[in-house]
């Protein structure tokens, strides 16, 4: 069993000698649910030291990492250890400095509250095990499209909500009503925690466990989905049921190489592209009914 009290942390070191080692390892840290990570060079290798909550046993985190590493054969776990030193933890918390996203947003860990840059709309997100700290490129693409398309009074549905960062952003922009779904039950608790952190009432979002738009019964002005290509493609089958005729659908979580395939699926679903954004290898777009 792990330690739910959190008075110790797991530290895992991964190494890679690959071409895009830093990016690969940072992506693995983010996707695996690390709460903080640092990168350094050692004997010609790039090393990532990542911290994980002790609420899960180390075997859980190693299994999560090994699953992700299957896609990155150039990287491997080289060691892991238990850390009881709170100072070390504090140091890791600093691995999440406030991050400006788009024109208006700043994503901030709760320990940076009070240090909001002037004129920015703060999204307080606790970096945790549910994916979506706000620091991932695909989340930043989705947030940039949200600030462009969500208007005060809109009703917004968020598919694959993770930390809840996207619907929280929509609420901060004045969305009148939101709904969110995630297949991962831990994401729901995480969303509630983040809503509270942002001073949002729990009734501001119809938040439930569900596959894609399962249990979504009404149509929305904006749909957001930062999931991978396959679930995004599957979601297109339901788009007419959950998106208003004049609504906007925002899709992220895909790579540049998947763009052509997704664009052709969009047109088959009677949607046309209205905006697209690329950050490094990540790609996302906004679409409306043709
Ligand atoms: C890439 S994360 C995005 C999290 C957050 N929305 C963000 O933008 O940072 C994808 C999330 O989608 C969830 N997910 C994956 N497949 C799903 C599905 N079929 N239905 C609902 N949620 C799904 C995962 O559990 C995960 O929390």
Angstrom distance (rounded) from CA 122 to CA 101:
10
User: Which residue's alpha carbon is at the smallest distance from atom 14 of ligand 1?
Assistant: 160
Helix pair angle (165-172, 185-197), 10° resolution = 30
> pLDDT digits over 71-130, tens only?
888 899 999 988 765 555 555 566 677 889 999 999 998 878 888 999 999 999 987 644
**Residue 263: inside a domain:** yes
Q: Look up the CATH number of the domain holding residue 83.
A: 3.30.70.1710
Q: Which residue among 72, 93, 114 closes a domain?
A: 93
pLDDT of residue 5: 42
Residues in contact with 11: Cβ distance below 8 Å, sequence separation at least 6, in sequence order? 49, 50, 51, 52, 80, 81, 82, 83, 88
Domain co-membership, 83 together with 103: no
- Sites in the chain below the pLDDT cut of 70: 1-7, 84-95, 128-134
CA 48 to mean position of chain CA atoms: 20
Domain co-membership, 80 together with 174: no
Do β-strands 177-182 and 205-209 pair in parallel, antiparallel, or remain unpaired? parallel
Q: Which two tokens stand for residue 222?
A: 């904006």
Q: Is the CB of 162 under 6 A from ligand 1?
A: yes
**Residue 199: inside a domain:** yes
Q: Is the CB of 27 under 6 A from ligand 1?
A: no
What are the beta bridge partners of residue 37?
A: 50
**Residue 186: inside a domain:** yes
Domain co-membership, 269 together with 138: yes
Q: Is the CB of 30 under 6 A from ligand 1?
A: no
Q: Which two tokens stand for residue 158?
A: 């968020």
Angstrom distance (rounded) from CA 186 to CA 224:
20
- Which structural domain, as residue segments, surrounds residue 19? 9-93
Domain co-membership, 106 together with 89: no
Domain co-membership, 184 together with 206: yes
**Residue 86: inside a domain:** yes
Domain co-membership, 156 together with 215: yes
Domain co-membership, 247 together with 106: yes
* 162 C-alpha to ligand 1 centroid (Å): 5
Q: Which residue among 60, 93, 126 closes a domain?
A: 93
Domain co-membership, 79 together with 203: no
* 98 C-alpha to ligand 1 centroid (Å): 23
Q: Which residue among 43, 71, 93 closes a domain?
A: 93
CB 75 within 8 A of CB 65: no
**Residue 132: inside a domain:** yes
**Residue 3: inside a domain:** no
Domain co-membership, 52 together with 181: no
pTM, entire model: 0.74
Q: Is the CB of 160 under 6 A from ligand 1?
A: yes
> pLDDT digits over 242-259, tens only?
999 999 999 999 999 999
Q: Look up the CATH number of the domain holding residue 203.
A: 3.40.50.150
Domain co-membership, 231 together with 110: yes
Domain co-membership, 117 together with 84: no
Domain co-membership, 86 together with 171: no
Question: Which residue in 189, 192, 155 sits closest to 173, CA to CA?
Answer: 155
pLDDT of residue 27: 85
What is the domain count for the chain?
A: 2
For residue 174, the SS3 value is coil
**Residue 2: inside a domain:** no
Angstrom distance (rounded) from CA 43 to CA 33:
27
pLDDT of residue 121: 97
């Amino acid at each position: 069993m792990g330690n739910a009290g959190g008075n110790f942390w797991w530290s895992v070191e991964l190494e890679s000698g690959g071409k895009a080692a830093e990016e690969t390892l940072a992506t693995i840290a983010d996707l695996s649910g690390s709460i903080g990570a640092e990168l350094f060079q050692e004997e010609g290798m790039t090393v990532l030291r990542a911290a994980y909550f002790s609420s899960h046993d180390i075997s859980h985190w190693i299994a999560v990492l090994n699953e992700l590493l299957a896609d990155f054969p150039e990287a491997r776990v080289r060691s892991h250890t238990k850390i009881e030193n709170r100072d070390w933890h504090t140091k890791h918390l600093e691995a999440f400095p406030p991050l400006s996203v788009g024109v208006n947003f700043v994503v901030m860990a709760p320990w940076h509250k009070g240090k909001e840059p002037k004129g920015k709309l703060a999204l307080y997100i606790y970096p945790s095990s549910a994916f979506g700290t706000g620091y991932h490129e695909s989340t930043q693409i989705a947030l940039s499209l949200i600030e462009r398309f969500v208007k005060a009074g809109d009703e917004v549905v968020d598919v694959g909500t993770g930390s809840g960062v996207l619907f929280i952003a929509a609420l901060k922009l004045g969305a009148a009503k939101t709904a969110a779904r995630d297949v991962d039950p831990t994401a729901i608790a995480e969303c509630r925690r983040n809503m509270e952190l942002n001073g949002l009432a729990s009734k501001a979002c119809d938040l439930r466990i569900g596959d894609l738009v399962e249990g979504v019964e009404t149509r929305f002005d904006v749909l957001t989905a930062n999931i991978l290509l396959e679930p995004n493609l599957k979601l297109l089958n339901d788009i007419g049921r959950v998106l208003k005729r004049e609504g906007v659908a925002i899709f992220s979580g895909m790579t540049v190489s998947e763009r052509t395939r997704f664009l052709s699926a969009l047109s088959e679903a009677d949607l046309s592209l209205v905006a697209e954004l690329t950050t490094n290898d990540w790609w996302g777009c906004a679409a409306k009914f043709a």
